[in-house]
Chains A and B, each alone.
Chain A
C-alpha cells in the first residue's frame, strides 16, 4: 500500500540567534489527517521551529518538504501558498469588526465587498457544518468570548485554504469547557484530512487529542512517539531529561519564622482574565522557595500581586503576620519587601536613565541620598551607584552610562544589587537569570544563596528547571494558576516535577 507523502516534513532544521542554538538539526514528520503534538519546556525550541515553518523567519539550514516536495518558505505569504497557516497565541483580530469582516480581511474576493460577503457566508456555513466551527458571522468580535474568538482565527486559516494548521499553546486562555470544544474541532479537521500541529506543554492535552507526539529539549528533537503507545510519565521524563547532579549547596539553614503568608489569593490580569486561582503558601526567613512552572501559568500575576503592583481579586497577603492592604508597591518596599521583576527592561529599569538614576528606582524617597531641603545630592546618588556596581561586579562600573547600554547580565546584577542594598527581609525574584550568560548566572546564584544564609526570605519564580533545582529549599509547582504540588528541594523527584509542570496529576 503506497502511503501518501507526509503533509509536512522537516529535515535538519537549524536556527541560531547569536550564540543561542534555538533549533539544532531538527527533524519532524507530520502526516496528513493527523493531530501531531510537539511538547517541551520553555526554551526547548518549539516556537522557533513553528516560526520557521510558517515563514516568520527563515531557517539557517535544513529542508522543508510539503507533500513530499521541497519548498522555500521565506515569509508568511509563501507559507500560506503552501497551505500552512498559524493560529497565534495572541489573536490577530480586529475587535470592532464582525466575524465576517475578520475572515474576509485580506481575502475579500473583489474590490466591492458585496460579492465577497456572499461567498464568505457560504464558506463559513460549510466550514461550520464540516468541522463544527459554529460562529455567528454577524457577531462583533469584541462581544465574543475567548473560545469563540479562537474559532474565528481557525476559520480565517481554513478560509484561506489551510491544509496544515499550527496552533501555539491554544488552551492558555481557554476554560476547560472551551478547550474540549477546541479538541472536538481539531478531531473534525483531522478526520477531513488536514494536518494539525499542536504546540503545548500540557501533557493532558497531548494524551487526550494527539495521534503522534514529538518531544523537544534544549533545541533538539529528542523523541517521536505514537500517543497510543506512550504514557504521560514517559513523556514527562523525556521533556525534562536527566539532570546533572545538583551542585553542593551547603547545609540548608533551618528555616526561620514565617515572613510572608499567602491565603487563597486570586488575581486577574490586565485584560480581566483570571490567572491565579486560590493560591496559598508560606515563605520563611532563611529559605529559598522556588516556584516552578512553564511560563504563562499565573506566576507573573502572582508576583505582581505580592509586590504590590497589582491588586488581588480576593485572598490575603500577610507580612510578618499583618495583613497587607491593597496594591501599593511603595508601601511594600517600606515594609521590607524587595522585588526583582521578571521583565527588567519594562519594569526594573528606565532605559534612557543613566545607571545611577536607575539605581534608585523605587527608593528615590530614601533620605540616604537627600540633603538640604530634601534635594538629591548628585554626589551621594552617584557614590551609591558606584558602590553597588563595585560590590556586585557590574561592568562597566560607570554610574553615568545609560541603563540601556549595559548587557542583560549586568543590568540584572544592578537590579539585584539595588534591591538588596536596603537590606529587605523578603526578596521576590522573577526569572533571575533570564538573558544572562553562564558566568553571570553563577554569580547571581551565589548571591541568592548568600542571602538565604544571611536569613532572608527569598521567593524565586523561574521557568528554568535547572535553576529551581539548584537553588530551592522547597519547590512549589504552578499550573493553570494553582499550586499543584510541593516538593522538597535537592532530592526532588524529576519525574514527578515534570508531570506536575505539565499538568498531569502525579
Chain B
C-alpha cells in the first residue's frame, strides 16, 4: 500500500501534537501505577515550569541546553546521520572551553576571553564530531555505534582529567577552580526572578537562525538535504557526499558544545562532571518532535525544558515521584515520533483524506 501523504500542516503540527498527547496519556498511566494522581502530577509540572518568574527562567535555562542538543541532532539527521554522540561532543566542547578559560581568564579582558572560550568549545566539539563523521564517510563505520562509543570515551577522559589533572588543588570534588568570569545571567539585563538563564539563550536563538539559513538558504545546505533525502540523487547532481557528512557532523559537534557554553560559562563557572545532564539524549527527542526544523526544535526544546524543570519541581512536590518520571514522557515521545511513527500516520492520513 502506497503511503498516503499527509497535508503539510498535519505532518508538521498535528502529528507531533498527537504523539505528545499519546505519550502524556501513557505516562499518566505510569503515574497511576506509581500510586499518584496524574492530574496532580500535571498540575505540579505546569506550575513548576511556568508558575513563577524563577520557574520560567529555569525552564528557559534547560530549554537552551535542549535547543543546542536538538539543533545538533537535527542538522545531522538532515544529512541522513543519527548523531547519538551529543553528550560526548558537549563534554569535549566543555573541555576546550575550560582550558581556554583556565589558561587565559587572568590575562585577557572578560568579553575577549569569553568569546575565545566559546570559539574553543565549538572547535573542540566540532573536532570530536568530525571524527565519527570521517569514519562513516571514508571507512564506512556506522555513525550510530561510533558516537555511542565516543560518548563513553569522552566521559572517561573527562573523569581522568578532572580527577587527576585539572582538579583545583586542595579540593576533593572533581572540578576545576572557578573561572574569573563567564556569561552574564539574563537577570542582569532586567529578566525578572532568579535563575541561571543567561546570554546563552539569545546565542541559541542566533544559532537556530544560522542553522536555518545554512541548511535552507544556501547551496551547500541544499546539497546537505539532498544527501540526507536521496543519496542517489546526490550522485546524479554531483554533490560530494563524503564531505557533506564530515562537515555536518562537525557542525553538529559545534552546536553540541553550546550545552557547555550554557552550563559552564553561564551557570557553573567551572568545569564539572556530567554537566550535560542527559541533554544529549533529550536532544534526540527534541529533534524528532521538531521534525528537524530549527523552529520546531526551538518549540520542542521549550517543551522539554519545561518537562525538565517541571520534573524537578514535581519530584519536590510529590516525594513519591522522582525527577526521572519525565524520562518516561521523553522515552515515549522518542518512541512515537521516531519508531512508532507509522502507527498514527496511516489512520490519520486516511481520516483526513475522507474528510476532504
Q: Which residues of A contact B (CB under 8 A)?
A: 307-309, 328-333, 339, 341, 346-353, 357, 360-362, 364-365, 370, 374-376, 378, 402, 404-405
Contact = CB atoms under 8 A, between A and B. Distances in A.
Nearest to B236: A347
Chain B at the A interface: SS class: helix
B239 interface: yes
Nearest to A371: B217
B218 A329 contact: no
B319 interface: no
Contacts of B222: 357, 360, 364, 376
A350 B229 contact: yes
Contacts of B226: 350, 361
Nearest to A328: B238
Most chain A C-beta atoms within 10 Å of own C-beta, residue among B213, B230, B239: B230
B236 A350 contact: no
Nearest to B222: A364
Contact of A309 (B219, B225, B229, B236): B236
A333 B218 contact: no
A6 to B, nearest CB: 38
Most chain B C-beta atoms within 10 Å of own C-beta, residue among A339, A347, A364, A404: A364
A348 B238 CA distance: 12
Given A347-B233, A361-B226, A330 B239 contact: yes
Contacts of B232: 346-347
Interface in B227-255: 229-230, 232-233, 235-239
Contacts of B239: 330
B21 to A, nearest CB: 26
Contact of B237 (A364, A375, A402): A364
Nearest to A376: B217
Nearest to B213: A375
B219 A350 contact: no
Given A374-B218, A375-B218, A402-B5, A348 B223 contact: no
A347 B233 CA distance: 4
Given A350-B229, A353-B229, A364-B223, A376 B236 contact: no
A348 B213 contact: no
A347 B235 CA distance: 8
B338 to A, nearest CB: 17
B219 A374 contact: yes
B229 A362 contact: no
A351 B232 CA distance: 12
Contact of A375 (B217, B223, B236): B217
Contact of B238 (A329, A357, A374, A402): A329
Contacts of A347: 232-233, 235-236
Chain A at the B interface: SS class: mixed
B218 A362 contact: no
Nearest to A354: B8
Contacts of A353: 225, 229
B238 A376 contact: no
Given A352-B229, A353-B225, A361-B233, 16 more contacts: A308-B238, A309-B235, A309-B236, A329-B236, A331-B238, A346-B232, A347-B232, A349-B230, A351-B229, A362-B238, A364-B219, A364-B223, A364-B237, A375-B218, A376-B219, A402-B5
Most chain A C-beta atoms within 10 Å of own C-beta, residue among B218, B219, B222, B236: B236
Nearest to A400: B8
Contacts of B216: 376
B282 to A, nearest CB: 26
Contacts of A330: 237-239
A58 B219 CA distance: 48
A404 B6 CA distance: 12
A366 B331 CA distance: 44
B238 A349 contact: no
A333 B5 CA distance: 33
A346 B236 CA distance: 9
B233 A350 contact: yes
Contacts of A333: 238
Most chain B C-beta atoms within 10 Å of own C-beta, residue among A347, A378, A405: A347
A402 B4 CA distance: 12
28 contacts: A307-B236, A309-B235, A309-B236, A329-B235, A329-B238, A330-B237, A333-B238, A346-B230, A347-B232, A347-B233, A348-B236, A349-B230, A349-B233, A350-B229, A351-B230, A353-B229, A357-B222, A360-B222, A361-B226, A361-B236, A362-B236, A364-B222, A364-B223, A364-B237, A370-B219, A375-B218, A404-B5, A405-B5
B238 A350 contact: no
A28 to B, nearest CB: 32
Contacts of A351: 229-230
| Interface pairs A-B: 7 shortest CB-CB | A330-B238, A329-B238, A347-B236, A362-B237, A364-B222, A364-B219, A375-B217
B218 A341 contact: no
A378 B226 CA distance: 17
Contacts of A374: 218-219
Contacts of B219: 364-365, 370, 374, 376
Nearest to A334: B238
Nearest to A361: B237
Interface string B251-291: 00000000000000000000000000000000000000000
Contacts of A357: 222
A346 B5 contact: no
A376 B219 CA distance: 7
Given A350-B230, A360-B222, A405-B5, A339 B236 contact: yes
Interface string B184-218: 00000000000000000000000000000100111
Nearest to A377: B217
B236 A332 contact: no
Nearest to B223: A364
B175 to A, nearest CB: 42
Contacts of A361: 226, 233, 236-237
Nearest to B229: A350
A419 B213 CA distance: 27
B209 to A, nearest CB: 12
Nearest to B230: A350
A265 B233 CA distance: 24
A378 B239 CA distance: 21
Interface in B1-46: 5
Interface string B292-304: 0000000000000
A281 B237 CA distance: 25
B161 to A, nearest CB: 40
Contacts of A308: 238
A148 B240 CA distance: 37
B187 to A, nearest CB: 35
B296 to A, nearest CB: 16
A363 to B, nearest CB: 8
B66 to A, nearest CB: 26
Contacts of A404: 5
Contacts of B233: 346-350, 361
Contacts of B217: 375-376, 378
A402 B11 CA distance: 13
B86 to A, nearest CB: 25
B218 A376 contact: yes
A332 B235 CA distance: 13
Nearest to B218: A375
B230 A341 contact: no
Contacts of B236: 307, 309, 329, 339, 341, 347-348, 361-362
A339 B216 CA distance: 25
A404 B213 CA distance: 25
Nearest to B221: A376
Contacts of A352: 229
A307 to B, nearest CB: 8
A311 to B, nearest CB: 12
